[in-house]
Amino acid sequence: VFLLPVFGFIFNRRSTVKLPKIFHPGSTRIRCPRCGWQPAKTDMWMCSPGCGHVWNTFDTHGICPGCDKHWSHTACLKCDAWCQHEEWYEQSQD
């Protein structure tokens, strides 16, 4: 009797789980999609209309620490344009 080997219980688990992108401060540049202005750590935004809290909106990805309001758009302090918060993040190509 010739027995075929049975591999039925061998799991070929190729990882299809994509790890979330790790935020590297050095590899992501923040700049205004409209005029190219790059905010500094010391630049502040005010939650208005809102709770009036003043903070750097890029520290919290557009979420006000005072009232948890999620600002989907961020105003440029230089050209006054309102752009989607995500558009401010520019991934470097390397």
Binding site for Zn ion (CB under 5 A): 32, 34-35, 37, 47, 50-51, 53, 64, 66-67, 69, 76, 78-79
Q: Smallest gap, in angstroms, from Cβ of residue 41 to Zn ion?
A: 18
Q: Smallest gap, in angstroms, from Cβ of residue 68 to Zn ion?
A: 7
Q: What's CA 64's distance to the chain center, in Å?
A: 15
Q: Smallest gap, in angstroms, from Cβ of residue 51 to Zn ion?
A: 3
Q: Round to whole Å and give the CA distance between 63 and 60.
A: 5
User: What does DSSP say about strands 89-91 and 45-46: parallel, antiparallel, or unpaired?
Assistant: unpaired
